[in-house]
Structure 1
Amino acid sequence: MNRNIMKKLILFIILITLVIPLTGCFSDKAEGAGSNGDLEIDYLVEKKEDKENLKATSLLAQMREKLSSKNEVETEIQIEEEDIVQQDKKELSFWEKLRLKNSERGKDEELDLVSKIKEEEKDNVEIKPTENKKKDSFLEQNIKAKEDKKEEEKKKEENNTKDNESKEKKEENKEPEEQKPKENTVTLTIRCDTAVNKEMHKDPKFKGIVPESGVILSTTTFKIKEGDTVLNVLETARDKYKIQMAYRGNKESAYIEGINNLYEFDGGRWSGWMYCVNGWYPNYGAGVYVLQSGDVIEWNYTCDLGKDLGQEWLGN
């Protein structure tokens, strides 16, 4: 029984504690007591309310600031869009403005049309000069190629003319050089065929003097000066080829006694040396005969006073 009573009392107390704050009993007393006697409780309540008010006001201020900033951004965007539209309108031509006025489409469609028209115009403007440039470059290349060909042909002609002139000059220079030696040269030959026919070359006495071929000096060219004689050419041959030669008398009346150590009378009573020029045997000395360019001189040994050389007049 005691336990049941205790449980009931506890439940009753709990109900009272729950019901009193809901019904508001004893509120006046509490407020009066708090206002008159307990100042600290009122102060705390006021602080809490102030903090809550401050929080509310701060939240409102933040919201207002955000709204104001959004409005400012929107207004700036609208101003920029209006400026862009005005600039686009300024750049538009008269016909484009008429098209935009007559069209019933929105601003977005109008701007799209304008942008398309501008892009097409840019494309047209960019394409035309490139095409013209290509054409111009092609023509310029052809012209340059033709000009280069002409210049090359001119250079070839100039080179050919220069080569021809140089050849002509060389030929002109060569001709006088070739003519000079012809005008100032003679030929000389020294032979002893008659002594070979007499078989003097087999005699040990004339070994090295009478060659078996009969040629002491083969046909050789010598330069001459004006006034040179047959004797002068024989002396040059003596000095140049070291051929022995001896004569007596003065140069004008010189008589050749021996050549290559083959003297007169070595081949008999009527043997000796004779000269001829161009096939003619003169009847005067070698120091008197003045030579001319192109003369052919021969010194031949005779064993029969010229008859063995075909000169019968000397024997008579």
Structure 2
Amino acid sequence: MKQMIHKKFIRTVTVWMLLLAMGLSVTGCDQAAAIGGSQSLDIDYVGGDGEITEDEVTAKNESPMEWLKKKLSGDKKKAGVNGREDISRFSDDASVQQLYGLKDDSDTQSGNDVAKTADSIDESEQNQDTIQIDQKDNKKGTVDLPLEDNSGSDSNSNKNNNTTQKHTVTYTIRCDTAVANGMAQDPKWAGIVPASGVILPVITMEFEPGETVFDLLCRIRDTYKLQMEYRGSDGGQYISGINNLYEFDGGRWSGWMYCVNGWYPNYYCGAYQVKDGDVIEWNYTCDLGCDLENGDPNGYGKDWKDNHK
């Protein structure tokens, strides 16, 4: 008798436990449906642009974590090597480019759009057709960079080429002022600011009539795989960086200036057509040209600094 009562009690308890489990399951489903019947995650991130809705996230077809990482990183300013791209504190009122009367930034373009830089060149490409830069000046005046021979195999064309007068200039790139300011001793400028101050020694190169200082610099860039970046077009090219040494890297008043026959033109390198025998120099200044010989003959740099404290 006692055994029958015990078995009945166990069956009753088991039935109630099953009923209780089923009830909890149904309740959980109702709560889930109340929270979000679409079974999607409600997102309410708040960033620099204010509240971000779920629709804005899911529209990009990416996970919430991926979107959040992009959102957070996108709000930060780009900072290149040595922070050279963060120049907002300088660009409004102080730059070598102002001495050339450069247009607004909206009218300029980055040289990265049309020119290969050293960072973007594949290592295998660097090992092909690359001329090593001789660190000694070309005292003999022999041609380091001849023009391409487009005459083909025609013997008459070859004869005409041999009798045509060659037009040559000398070209060099230096950063002596950066060395004088101690940048060559700083490890972060290793490979960028050589202790000798010479980035490109004096070379002699041929040119065609109508070519500009900028055109020849582009040929040097392509031949020696020398990094160069510029802004502007149609004769208004401004050189912002050579060999990864950029404007503002040497201070508020630093940048690249070009010199022809001892004179620093007050217009862009893309507008200066070279002539036979020209002596062309690119010099880095840390003081708006005041630290270069003949770099500020009319006092424009000094006046600019005095009026832009």
TM-score (norm 2): 0.44
TM-score (norm 1): 0.43
Query: Higher RCO, 1 or 2 (CA under 8 Å, sep at least 6)?
Result: 2
Higher normalized helix content (fraction of residues): 1
Highest Rg: 1 or 2?
1
